[in-house]
């Protein structure tokens, strides 16, 4: 165990002292958890194999799951990647800083452990003043997965990081809750046409404006299918301790009726029931004895995305056995929310 220091920072104008202390940890090969606009990252010097190895150890993450390299400027793309196609610069100039990760050819500066032994590398420039200041002060690109224990919901607050990784990281920069709440959209630019490997903070629709032919790869691999073509894409991910039961279907009223029925039965059978609900759904569930976590309005998916991981963790803490959740639709951030729910549900969907 190591001692984990927590330093509060102003998320809009981080204190130079705090950033200098964190950068010193990175330069010494240590681990710093820091806020990005999506979720908290667990950072280490991306150019040092020993530092990156510490990330895998702290998270309990298999080394077959590659890390995202974070840079502080579009021009720094070439620190992490080589043979960069013009489209990468176009996308970076358009969406960076922001929740878009580009998969490119690896540069020699990035050790193989960061990319899980592949010749490709995932790179992004986060839109968070704390993350940008930390990368700039460290003087190196920072490798950072989400700062949660492997297969747990990602951390959107410093408290989540501390709960999962306290005693395993050197420093946590507490910049408050992360604004977007779901991870970055990952686009594989080595595929032709480019493929979205993970829906995230940049909606598919926004990407289509620049890459009309981009496709969304199905991420719903099972453990048996293996993840050979898609490192780190095992279906069990973002899982709360409770079992998640996820509902979909063409008719909202029918879907809700089925959920209410099933949740009532579960409660009657003595299970502690959790409900992950939009405000619009709440009244329909009045008769179900349950712990409720709200995602805000169904017409405000930004709010739902920002609340999602904290809500799953919150229901876990309230000791529920099973969490009932429903399809948010696939438009805008709906695709990313659905993806995280589907993985929390380990790929099981109930079609009503």
Residues found near Mg ion in the complex (CB under 5 A): 146
Pattern 161-200, binding to ligand TXA, x per CB under 6 A? Answer: ----------------------xx-x----------x---
Q: Which is nearer to Mg ion, 107 or 233 (CB)?
A: 233
Q: Tokens in use for 54?
A: 């510490």
Residue nearest to Mg ion (CB): 146
Q: How far is the CB of 124 from ligand TXA (least distance, A)?
A: 6
Confirm or reject binding of residue 115 to ligand TXA (CB under 6 A). Answer: yes
SS3 301: helix
**CA-CA distance, 121 to 141, in Å (whole number)?**
12
Contacted entry of Mg ion, ligand TXA, none for residue 115, CB cut-off 5 to 8 Å set by kind: ligand TXA
Query: Segment contacting ligand TXA (CB under 6 A): 71-79, 95-103, 271-279, 286-294?
Result: 95-103
> Which element (helix H / strand E) includes 293?
strand 291-294
Closest by alpha carbon to 110, among 138, 150, 71? 71
Which bin fits 281, alpha (ψ -120 to 50), beta or left (φ > 0)?
A: alpha
Nearer residue to Mg ion within complex by CB, 107 or 184 = 184
- Minimal distance in Å, beta carbon 235 to ligand TXA? 12
322 binds, among Mg ion, ligand TXA, none (CB under 5 to 8 A by kind): none
Contact map string, positions 139 to 158, toward ligand TXA, x by CB under 6 A:
-----xxx------------
Kindly state the smallest distance separating residue 145's Cβ from ligand TXA, in Å. Answer: 3
Terminal-to-terminal C-alpha distance of the chain: 48
Q: At 296, list the tokens.
A: 């805000």
As a whole number of angstroms, the distance between CA 42 and CA 44 comes to 7
Instruction: Answer whether 45's CB lies under 8 Å from 111's CB.
Output: no
Shorter beta-carbon distance to ligand TXA: residue 144 or 295:
144
328 in contact with ligand TXA (CB under 6 A)? no
Tell me whether residue 52 or residue 263 sits nearer to ligand TXA (CB atom): 52
Give start and end residues of each alpha helix (H) in the chain: 16-27, 49-59, 77-80, 86-95, 129-138, 158-165, 204-210, 252-268, 279-282, 301-317, 334-344
> What are the helix (H) ranges across 96-166?
129-138, 158-165
- Which member of 82, 120, 248, 291 binds ligand TXA (CB under 6 A)? 120
> 280-286, long-range: CB within 8 Å, 24+ apart, which pairs?
281/256, 281/326, 284/256, 284/260, 285/259, 285/260
**Mask 35-64, x = binds ligand TXA (CB under 6 A)?**
-x-xx-x-----------------------
Q: What is the dihedral of CA 170, 128, 342, 253, to 10 degrees?
A: 140
Given the rule CB under 6 A, which residues bind ligand TXA? 36, 38-39, 41, 65-68, 99, 101, 103, 115, 118, 120-122, 126, 144-146, 183-184, 186, 197, 231-233
């Amino acid at each position: 165990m190591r001692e984990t220091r927590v330093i509060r920072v102003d998320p809009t104008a981080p204190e130079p002292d705090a950033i200098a202390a964190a950068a010193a940890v990175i330069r010494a090969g240590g681990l710093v958890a820091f806020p990005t606009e999506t979720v908290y990252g667990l950072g280490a010097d991306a150019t040092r194999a020993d530092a990156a190895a510490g990330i895998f150890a702290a998270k309990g993450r298999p080394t077959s799951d590659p890390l995202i390299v974070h840079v502080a400027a579009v021009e720094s793309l070439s620190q992490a990647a080589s043979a960069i196609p013009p489209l990468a610069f176009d996308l970076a100039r358009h969406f960076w800083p922001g929740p878009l990760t580009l998969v490119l050819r690896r540069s020699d500066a990035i050790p193989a452990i960061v990319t899980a032994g592949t010749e490709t590398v995932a790179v992004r420039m986060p839109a968070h003043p704390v993350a940008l200041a930390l990368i700039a002060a460290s003087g190196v690109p920072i490798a950072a997965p989400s700062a949660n224990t492997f297969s747990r919901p990602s951390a959107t607050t410093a408290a989540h990081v501390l709960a999962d990784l306290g005693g395993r990281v050197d420093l946590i920069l507490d910049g408050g809750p992360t604004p977007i709440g779901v991870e970055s959209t990952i686009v594989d630019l080595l595929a032709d046409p480019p493929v979205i490997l993970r829906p995230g903070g940049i909606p598919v629709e926004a990407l289509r404006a620049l890459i009309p032919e981009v496709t969304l790869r199905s991420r719903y691999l099972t453990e048996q299918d293996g993840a050979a073509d898609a490192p780190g894409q095992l279906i069990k991910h973002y899982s709360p301790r409770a079992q998640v039961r996820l509902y979909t279907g063409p008719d909202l009223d029918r879907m809700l009726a089925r959920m209410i029925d099933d949740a009532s039965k579960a409660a009657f059978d003595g299970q502690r029931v959790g409900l992950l609900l939009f405000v619009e759904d709440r009244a329909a569930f009045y008769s179900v004895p349950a712990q409720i976590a709200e995602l805000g309005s169904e017409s405000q998916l930004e709010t739902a995305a920002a609340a999602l991981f904290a809500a799953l963790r919150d229901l876990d803490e309230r000791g529920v056995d099973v969490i009932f959740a429903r399809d948010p639709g696939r438009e805008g951030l709906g695709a990313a929310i659905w993806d995280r729910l589907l993985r929390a549900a380990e790929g099981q969907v109930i079609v009503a």
